[in-house]
A and B are shown apart, each in its own frame.
Chain A
Amino acid sequence: MDKVRERCLTGIEALDNILNGGVPKGNTVLITGSAGTGKTTMSIEFLVHGAMKGEKGLYISVTEASEKLLENLIVYDFFSKEMIQKGIIFIDIPEIYEKLGMNKLQFSMEDINLLIENIVKIVSEFNVKRVVIDSITSICYRLQTEEKIMEFILRLSKALSELGCTTFLVSELLPSAKGYSQYGVEEAVSDGIILLGNLERKGDLLRTLRVVKMRGTSHSRATYVLDITSIGILLVPLLKGGGEMV
């Protein structure tokens, strides 16, 4: 039997069941997969459900302007502009880079420290309990070395965890990728890995989800089929009909 750790419910009922009650609070989880697999949708849903419970969320957008992202969210029944405005802070990272004078293509250790300090400051100031960085891969691109990536993720995770924050790091994968992250380091230092994929079976393309690792809880490692609907993400077990994860 698991020693029970306090949980952070994602609000995606089936995922919380797979995780035996949700993500252990304070964990840093890599949400990884190739394009179109539902990483951003899942992360936003995680923040929205938090906001509905009064837990402030922070969404750091690295690759897409948050304004454009919000436009795509209107299709969801659980979306309410007022609740999003009150409950979730959207920040486009270029604004932080500009504010901190981080214009270089490759970040130094000093830059990394500045970036972490800044994120932690926002989290403390607004009592944020859920953070999403979308995507960590784009930040890693500017860190370049494995040492710097490891240092950045470890220090950020530790600081956010100490503030009681549960964090989703969105990681972009190429469909042909072998591991769970672009640089190989992200997956090693994260507390959890949720792998989203595409499964091709007899010409059909199914979205899939698998919890590869999650520290602090026992969980299913089976593959599930995922559907993005107006009421949120739904999951059912993958039927064992063959086919490979793409």
Chain B
Amino acid sequence: MNKEEFQKKLKSYQEPLSVSVSISLSNYFDAIKQILEDFSSNKNLPVIYISATIPSKSISTVLDVYGVDSKKIFFVDCISHIMMSSTAYSERTVFVESPTMLETIMLKAQYILNKYVTGGSVIVIDSVNSLAIHNDMKILSEFLHLFVTYLRSRGAYFVILSMKEQSNNEISNILNFVSDEILEVE
């Protein structure tokens, strides 16, 4: 689907659900912007952004450039430590030592929800492919199943990003299993 159709689709979501969004490297930041604008700005929901692809600091910088209001965006950054990037304290960012610490990712998301969020929320996983680089598929499937099921029971929307260029059958099977809808953005 094109940009407009994607925007329309995001707007149509009124009840919590789990959606996988397949994007290409060329529209990576555009897609993130659209997702965050729709859920955070339009639906006024707090976002927990799990960054396993690039450090949260870089995403924050891009969002600033795009003019996306990031007051309600919290980061669970599981890539900065492993990349030896700076991990300066910020109230809206918690760091996980490595993308292999999947349980810790769940714990940090739970921490943000318990401490800062009342009501609905959106969890963005960026991306399933990055997590697949660091974890075997069995534990990754188990993680996504538990994480999605648990947080959906708490009224959370789930957006799982998947990079078209790095996908394979195993990843597609996992996404089919945990997603209510799979969207392909051109």
Contacts and interface: CB of A to CB of B under 8 A. Distances in A.
Interface of A: 77, 201-204, 206, 225, 227, 229-231, 234-241
B142 interface: yes
Contacts of B97: 204
B146 A237 contact: yes
B20 interface: no
Interface stretch (B37-45, B58-66, B110-118, B163-171): B110-118
B107 interface: yes
A225 B98 CA distance: 15
13 contacts: A203-B98, A229-B107, A229-B111, A229-B115, A230-B115, A234-B114, A236-B106, A238-B103, A239-B102, A240-B139, A241-B135, A241-B139, A241-B142
The 4 closest A-B pairs by CB, nearest first: A225-B103, A227-B107, A241-B139, A236-B106
What band does the interface of chain B fall in when counting residues whose beta carbon is under 8 Å from A?
20 to 34
Contacts, number: 54
B117 to A, nearest CB: 12
B82 to A, nearest CB: 11
Interface in B101-137: 101-104, 106-108, 110-111, 114-115, 135-136
Contacts of A203: 98, 100
B100 A201 contact: yes
B143 interface: yes
Nearest to A240: B142
A156 to B, nearest CB: 35
A204 B138 CA distance: 18
A227 B142 contact: no
Contacts of A238: 103
A239 B101 CA distance: 10
Contacts of A237: 103, 146
